[in-house]
Amino acid sequence: DVQLQASGGGYVQAGGSLRLSCTASGLTYDYDDYAIGWFRQAPGEEREGVSCISTEDGSAVYTDSVKGRFTISIDNAKKTAYLQMNNLQPEDTAVYYCATSKWWRPLKLKPLRFDFWGQGTQVTVSS
C-alpha cells in the first residue's frame, strides 16, 4: 500500500520557522521519477497548492504567497520531501498535506494531478 507520512507541524509565532517532512513508501508508478507536493487547507477554504518538486532533477514550483519564505527539497534515497517554512505568518495557518503525482513534467500545483495523499499536519501561526 502507498503511504505518505507527513510530520513537522506545530504552533509558532509570526516570523518563526517550521520544517515539514513527508516520507513516501509503496509507490508503484510506471516511471522512477515523480513529483511530491505540499498543499494546505485552512478552515472554510479550498485546498491550495504550496509547492512541489520533481524527483528527476529537483526542480520546483511555488505559489506566489510563499516565494522567498518556503523552500522545498528532496532526499531521493529516503523518498522524503521537506518543506522549510521561514517567516511564517498567520495566513499560513492551515492543515498541510503532502501528495505525490506521476506527472512531474511540467510541475503544476493542481490537486487533481496528485494521486496519493498523506494525512495532513497542522500548522498554526499566531500573530
Alpha carbon dihedral 29, 30, 34, 39, in 10-degree steps, equals -40
Residue written as grid cell 531521493: 76
Read off the pLDDT of residues 50-94 as tens digits, 9 standing for 90 and up.
999 999 999 999 999 999 999 999 998 888 999 999 999 999 999
C-alpha cell at 13: 509565532
Which residues make beta-bridge pairs with 62? Answer: 51
* pLDDT band at residue 6 using 50, 70 and 90 as cut-offs: very high
pLDDT single digits (tens) 9-30: 999 999 999 999 999 989 888 8
pLDDT value at position 117?
A: 96
The DSSP string of 37-82 is EEEEE-TTS--EEEEEEETTT--EEE-GGGTTTEEEEEEGGGTEEE
Give the separation between CA 6 and CA 8, rounded to whole angstroms: 7
